[in-house]
Chain A
Amino acid sequence: MSETNTYKIPFVILTLILLCCFFANISLGSVSIPQKEIFNSLLNVSNNQSWQYIIQNYRLPKAFTAILVGSGLGISGLLMQTLFRNPLAGPFVLGITSGASLGVALVILGAGVFGGILSALLISKWTIVIAASLGSFLVLLAVLIVSSRVRDTMAILIIGLMFGSITAAVVSVLSYFSSAEQLQQYIFWGFGSLGNLSWRELGIFFIIYCFGILLSVFSIKGLNTLLLGENYAKSLGLNIKKSRLLIILATSLLAGTITAFAGPIAFIGLAIPHVTRQIFNTSNHKILVPAVFLFGAIVMLICDSIAQLPTSDYTLPINAITSLIGAPVVIWLLVRKRKMIF
């Protein structure tokens, strides 16, 4: 059919931009490395050992993480916006980040309660990843149990927000009783970070991410049917509860692992689907899912390159960059088009 042909060119262009951003991202950093050496390092034939190490074990995993984080958050945001028929929904409306934050807060801020030696053992990177995963998993479980009983999808949205409020309250109680040092550590986690992953961690991240993406692809037909509203979708033979479960599971897997490995990255999940809808001017998820994938990855790579402050030693919090760069872009797009497409 002709519909896929019209979108072929934008997809090719986007893929090329993604490749350019990927190479730009690994070329830029606090240490400046000549372009030729970067390619040599990638091919494992560089003469400079430390450059090769930086590229292979720091910049490359960071760039891949950026791609996974950007595309994963974008797609889960898209799923939530369609499921809840609400343009303000994002990947975190189900309370997944709040669950993760609670887990991390319990580990970092609650460490004082557990005593000195234990706390030293507790706070390693893996404990934080595990705490975040456990936290988001438990909240997800609660949301799934509730959603199997509730008939109205909107109720799930409210319930997710309520879970968010509860966990936020627990976190503030914990912060009240913790030391400045612990608070700082918790706040640093909240900034988000793409550069902390080793290849092994990235591998685990990637496997769970793939499951999430696979489930998203399987929900495409259901998502398109849901564009008509739930009653029409049901009259078209769609099993609402099953597709709802599929969509929630996909989102939770994506948003949950991303938060566990990279921290709560704001903004991308909410904004990327809107930008994509504006540019592609369609609501068809067969187009939107791959387009959001590409856009999310591109934007995240660009944000990460900026956060690195090329040639300087500082790295800005990625969370601040995504909103600083992204929010004006979305505002500009909406003002220019004057029409909210949903």
Chain B
Amino acid sequence: MNKETQNNILKTVNLTIGYTSKKEETTIASNINLALKKGELIGLVGANGIGKSTLLRTVTQVQPKLSGTIVLNQKPLENYTNLDLAKTMSLVLTETIASKNLSVFELIALGRQPYTNWVGNLSQKDITIVNKAIKQTNIENLKHKKCFELSDGQLQKVMITRALAQDTDLIILDEPTTHLDMYHKAYILKLLQSLVKETGKTILFSSHEIDLAIQLCDTMIVMTKEEVISNTPCNLIEQGVFNTLFPEDLIVFDTKTGSFRVKK
């Protein structure tokens, strides 16, 4: 095995994603070949309905792939048990949690579930890891609050902390910046960037904040109708990939500023 493949945390070969019902298969995207390097912040962008969520749901094994292979940490995804997967990959989803009566500490401590005993008692080590995660995301002041007392932005930070406490090599976030104001969008993505630097974990997130992602990500995955491309933001701009992202009748990509402009 050469060094390059060892550096990959997640690799897909000829992956086809979509849905199967009893009669037919609906393909959403095919021929996806990705190789995500360890210790990078990776942003997944694309238009609505292009299949970002489906791709994330497929690599997190929430829904089955149609064909191709997914390799997580040099091991095929289907060889993972639920528990092994929980120790390798943690999630932050768009759905809200079922019970907001949990305290922030309790919620984050639930991230230790894959490691705790049959009744879920926290060991001293678990508590240390939870407290470390709380420190890393700088939410010590929220620790004893109840989840229903938090704003959307605070809750998102708490959910990221929970994923961090799960102590996995890969953290995947599905649209972590929805419902947030401009400042908090930038804050959350900046936080993700600093976490990658501090912890060496790989973070993959989907987002509509293309201009922020261009500034902060190490690698970006761009999904268009024709293909799925991944590269550094600079290279992607040079290749003119972002111009093909949306229909060009309304907005155009400005290569100089790295952002979209409304056509006059």
Contact = CB atoms under 8 A, between A and B. Distances in A.
B93 A232 contact: yes
Contacts of B251: none
A82 B95 CA distance: 17
A79 to B, nearest CB: 14
Interface stretch (A26-34, A186-194, A204-212, A234-242): A234-242
B106 A228 contact: no
A237 B84 CA distance: 7
A236 B113 contact: yes
Contacts of B60: 235
B55 to A, nearest CB: 16
Given A221-B116, A283-B99, A232 B91 contact: yes
B86 A231 contact: no
A238 B62 contact: no
A332 interface: no
Given A220-B119, A220-B120, A237-B87, A342 B101 contact: yes
Contacts of B1: none
Interface residues of A, number: 29
B250 to A, nearest CB: 34
Interface in A294-342: 341-342
Contact of A221 (B81, B96, B120): B120
Contact of B120 (A224, A231, A232, A234): A224
Q: Max chain A CB contacts within 10 Å: which of B90, B96, B102, B120? A: B120
Nearest to B102: A283
Nearest to B57: A231
A189 B98 CA distance: 38
Given A218-B118, A221-B120, A239 B82 contact: yes
B62 A234 contact: yes
B186 interface: no
B99 A342 contact: yes
Interface residues of B, number: 34
Nearest to A218: B118
Contacts of A225: 110, 113, 120
Given A221-B120, A236-B110, A237-B113, A227 B83 contact: no
A274 to B, nearest CB: 12
Contacts of A282: 101, 106
B99 A85 contact: yes
Given A220-B120, A221-B118, A224-B120, A341 B101 contact: yes
A286 interface: yes
B119 A221 contact: yes
A10 interface: no
B66 interface: no
Contacts of A1: 122, 127
22 contacts: A82-B99, A221-B113, A221-B116, A221-B120, A227-B102, A229-B98, A231-B62, A231-B91, A232-B95, A235-B85, A235-B86, A235-B93, A236-B86, A236-B113, A236-B166, A237-B81, A237-B113, A239-B82, A282-B101, A283-B106, A284-B102, A284-B106
